[in-house]
Amino acid sequence: MDDYVITVLSNIGMISFIALSAYLLLTTGEISFGQQAYFGLGAYAAGAATAMFELPIWTAILIGSSVAGLMAMVVGALTLRLSGLYFSIATLAFAEMVRLILLIVKVQVEVDGEMVGPDGANGFHDIRWMFERDISLMEFMFIIYGLLALVLIAFLWMERSRLGSVFRMLGSDSLLAEMQGLDTVRYRILAAGLAGGIAGIGGALYAHFTTYVEPQFFNVMLGVHALAYGLIGGLGTAFGPLIGVAIDLGFLEAVRFIQGYRMIVFGGLVAVLLIVMPRGILDEVRVHRLKTLLTRRSHAGARGP
């Protein structure tokens, strides 16, 4: 594979984290316009860990994910009383606050005779872990997809577990969930924290893949795209957001020849798709049908001669 294909695939992998993060909140019935904040916090925290304090990459990813997750829990606790569009706009306001503060913050330390660290609007340069360790793009892509696979397995486990049912129940009727004796406050904060942590992993990887991050990348467009991916791919399974990301980034790369008309075509196609499938390609009904189809097959195979 050449570097171009690897870069596209890596981008699909990294953006999938933030799409999964928005998807997790969608299953609990919350529309967040602010997941880009946690992606950005993860990127800055993890970048600082390797570039400024020379910590190993795994520690850095853990730090990025925890910083993002904890911050998301704080915001989740503050926005507990909000729902619907009020929640969406509060998360948007928080994310823009983070972005605008990162545009001002300047914290640099000297490493090997050079100043390294976030430098306000100039961004955060020289997150050179890949070069220092001589990691190839291909190897880094395996790290990305390895972590993505772990997160996906966790999602699939969760969707079969009680926690997944609780989240879906919160999403369809939080009042009913509360009447069943569920501690909705705890579950909402937990969902916010998990979603923030997942976005943080993506950000941590992104910072090391591009070696350079700037606050402008984590603007509201990233957050709204993340939401759109879940809805295009389908809200029935954690594979939905991945399909959404792959369709968007894959399609835009595949049709480079109509440069300049790509969004006109793509926008129209997605609008038509949403008319036909308002809950995405793999929505709950289709996922259920697929599952019964697959299990019936395997049962038939087991019983057959």
Residues that bind other proteins (CB under 8 A): 26, 31, 78-79, 81-83, 85-86, 88-90, 92-94, 96-97, 100-101, 103-104, 175, 178-179, 220-221, 224, 227-228, 231-232, 260-264, 266-268, 270-271, 274-275, 278-279
Q: Cα separation of 291 and 135, whole Å?
A: 40
Triad 116, 118, 123: Cα angle to 5°: 110
Least Å from the CB of residue 178 to other proteins:
7
Contacts of 297 (CB under 8 A, 6+ apart): none
Structure tokens that stand for 284 in this block: 């709950």
Is the CB of 179 or the CB of 302 nearer to other proteins? 179
Helices 3-27 and 162-172 pack at an angle, to 10 degrees, of 70
Residue showing tokens 């360790």: 133
Is the CB of 100 or the CB of 109 nearer to other proteins? 100
Least Å from the CB of residue 90 to other proteins:
4
Is the CB of 106 or the CB of 133 nearer to other proteins? 106
Is the CB of 113 or the CB of 260 nearer to other proteins? 260
Least Å from the CB of residue 281 to other proteins:
12
Q: Is-contact 195 72, C-beta < 8 A?
A: yes
Is the CB of 15 or the CB of 147 nearer to other proteins? 15
Triad 266, 269, 275: Cα angle to 5°: 140
Is the CB of 163 or the CB of 274 nearer to other proteins? 274
Q: Cα 72 from chain centroid?
A: 13
Instruction: Classify residue 19 as left (phi > 0), alpha (psi -120 to 50) or beta.
Output: alpha
Is the CB of 68 or the CB of 130 nearer to other proteins? 68
Whole-angstrom CA distances from 64 to 60, 151, 257, 276, 282 are 6, 15, 38, 39, 31
Residue showing tokens 């919160």: 170
Least Å from the CB of residue 3 to other proteins:
28
Least Å from the CB of residue 41 to other proteins:
16
Least Å from the CB of residue 169 to other proteins:
16
Least Å from the CB of residue 197 to other proteins:
21
